[in-house]
Every structure is written in structure tokens, then in C-alpha cells.
Structure 1
Amino acid sequence: MPDAVFRPPYIPGDIFTPDRDITHAHFRPGDKVVVIKGVAGKEVWGDAYKVVTPSWHTPTDEDGWRLYDANGGDRTYITAHPRYLVHLSRRCPDCLIYLRAMEDYLLPQFAGSNEAIDCGWYSLTRLNQLVHVHDARGNR
């Protein structure tokens, strides 16, 4: 993650992730992945993780993945839905198409900004479940 992250007053909606059709089987234990969270300069950025084991994703009531954050801290392990993840460890067509769509959508909106911008699409529940704003249900 960039050192300083800026959250603008207007945060564009994520039009791709909510409808992304990626199944649980697309990822495997040991895969390195990223969750795209915003823009830093002329690139999209996000948090990197290692896929560990299957884990139920409570906010969506679907199969998810337990992820390991090598940076540790309070949230060393979290659970995420497969549609939030992009492969870092291999160049699969589905993830590359999604990544390119996110770049084409986000980068023009923040052209000229050199700040790291967090679009605010994700939060963590008290059960360490990563949840997209589109998937948020109640106060879990």
C-alpha cells in the first residue's frame, strides 16, 4: 500500500467487481493475489495476499478464501470472496481482463493526481471478512 492514502470527496462506483463471474475454483492455495482498492499515480493499487485455504464468506453466504497478509498486524488473516481477487502469481486471462477494465475505468478519473487514492469500496467486518460495499449486509 502506498505510504499516504487520500480519499476524495467523490469516490467513483465500482462497476466491475459486483458482477464479476469468478468461481471459487479459479484460485488455489499458494496463489498470490491482490484486491484492487484505488489508484496511485498512473497505476491501480491494492492490498496483496497469499491464498491459504477455503473459508466461508459470511457477508455473501458463498465460498470464499482465507488470505494471509505477509505484513501481519491486527488482520494477518482475512476471508474474501473470489470476485474481489486478482492473480499476481500467474497471468490468467480472466484476471488480466478485469485488471485492464479497472485501469481503463479508474485511471482517467484521477489523471494528473500523484496521490494514492483509496476508492473506499472495501471494509472489514468484526469477523475479519473483507466485504465490498455492494455486498455489505447489515452489521456483521
Structure 2
Amino acid sequence: MTEHCPPPPPPAFAPTPDPLTPSRDVTHAHFEAGDQIVVLKGIAGGELWGDAMRVVAPSWHTPTDEDGWRLRDATGGAQTYITGHPRYLVHLSRRCPDCLIHLRAMEDHLLPKYAGQDALIDCGWYTTTALGQLVHIADIRRGQ
């Protein structure tokens, strides 16, 4: 007798568009080696949630053909080091005006959509390429 498992339930929420990060104008020079940053990925318990990392070294970001940063995830995981574009990053180690403005805009955009939700919600904005590069869905090129 073959046992059939029921299909997995659909996700509670469809991915939420992120119109702010792809158009964010932040230069490579905005971050420095040693900075602690977060890559915002969604909502958890009514607050923004993301992956905290440390900026390690300059690195070419192949998916965008622009200067990027090599990032280290101190908690390890499947990949301890990845490369990300500066517009994906928000300072944790210092309170700079640009990052605070971006953080507030993200809160204003996302928090009302998930008011009252306590679950961790990954908005599905990022993927990691075979080259270990963090790529926002708005930056993915065909054939990659």
C-alpha cells in the first residue's frame, strides 16, 4: 500500500514587493570594512527582521556589475561569506542618516501590511547565487 502525504499548505503570505531597496542610491564608500550591518528580509513580531553581518572587504558584485562588499555572517550557516551590493545593507554599528531614513521607509512600507502578525515573515527579496553573491530579486539577470 502506498501512503500519500497531503500537499504542503500554501504560504501564509505572498512575497511583498520591495520598491525601496532597488532604487536606493547609496555608494560603495558609505560602508567600511568592520561595519556591522543588516540585510533586511522581512518582519518578525511586528519589527523589521534580517541577517546581521560584518563588512569584511571590497568585492565586485557580479550580478549588478558594481562595487560590492564581502560580508561575513558570524553565526555561520550554509555560507559564512557572501558578497552584497551596498544598497542592500543598513548600518547596525552606527546611526547614519541614510540608513535611518531607509529603515524608517521600510517600516512605513511593510509594518502596516503585517500588523498583528507574530510569525517570522521572509518577504522573499533575496537569493544567493552559485558564486556566493546575495542578489535582490530586482537585480537578477536572465540566465543567472
Same fold (TM over 0.5): yes
Which residue of structure 2 aligns with residue 13 of structure 1? Answer: 17
Equivalent residue number for residue 134 of structure 2: 130
Amino acid at match of 1:118: D
What percent of counterpart residues are identical? 66
CA contact (8 A) 2:16 2:124 kept: no
Q: Gapped runs of 5+ residues in structure 2?
A: 1-10
Offset of residue 136 of structure 1: 0.3
Q: Which residue does 2:60 correspond to in 1? A: 56
* 1:9-88 mapped onto 2 (5 Å cutoff): 9-88=13-92
**By how many angstroms is 1:62 displaced?**
0.3
Count of aligned residue pairs for this structure pair? 135
- How far apart are the structure 2 equivalents of 1:139 and 1:102? 30
Q: For the pair shown, which has the larger CA radius of gyration, 1 or 2?
A: 2
- The Cα RMSD (Å) is 1.3
Unaligned runs of 5+ in 1: 1-6
Aligned to 1:117: 121
The superposition leaves residues 61-100 of structure 1 with CA deviations (integer Å, 9 ceiling, x where unpaired) of 0000000000113210000000000000000000000000
Normalising by structure 1, we get a TM-score of 0.93
Distance 1:122 1:34 in 2: 13
